[in-house]
Amino acid sequence: MADSGKTLADRIEDVLPQTQCTKCGYPACRPYAEAIANGTAAHNQCPPGGAEGVARIAVLLGKAVIPLNPVNGVERERPVAVIDEGACIGCTLYSGMSGRCDCRRSQANAYRDCITMHRL
């Protein structure tokens, strides 16, 4: 099926893992996709996408598969967030260290505490 109407940046963004981690050096996946598309960023700067992500982007660009740039980090298994429904307040943030939302603060301070606790 053709990607009619999608720009190169759109197609690159579609294969990025959407972790918004900033390890690529850009504030989110979209700006990184745009930088790859316009030639100002290399296609090997996304550790969460790993070698498979580099390969997928290389295919889109018609370029060679190159190793992940270690300056941006190393490929690793993605952490999984386990939601404690009894304690969850819907903040959508979690502890990257434990993979659990362990925010057990009072409702009044929950948002502020979650932001402080879960800063990745």
Contact 113, 91 (CB under 8 A): no
Residues 106, 109, 110, CA angle at the centre, nearest 5°? 75
CATH number for the domain including 65?
A: 1.10.15.40
Q: Provide mean pLDDT across the span 22-41.
A: 96
> For residue 120, what are the domain limits?
79-120
Domain co-membership, 29 together with 62: yes
Alpha-carbon Rg for the chain in angstroms: 17
Domain co-membership, 88 together with 42: no
What confidence tens digit (pLDDT) does each residue in 90-100 have?
665 544 444 44
Domain co-membership, 13 together with 59: yes
Whole-model pTM: value is: 0.66
Domain co-membership, 16 together with 48: yes
Indicate whether 40 pLDDT > 70.
yes
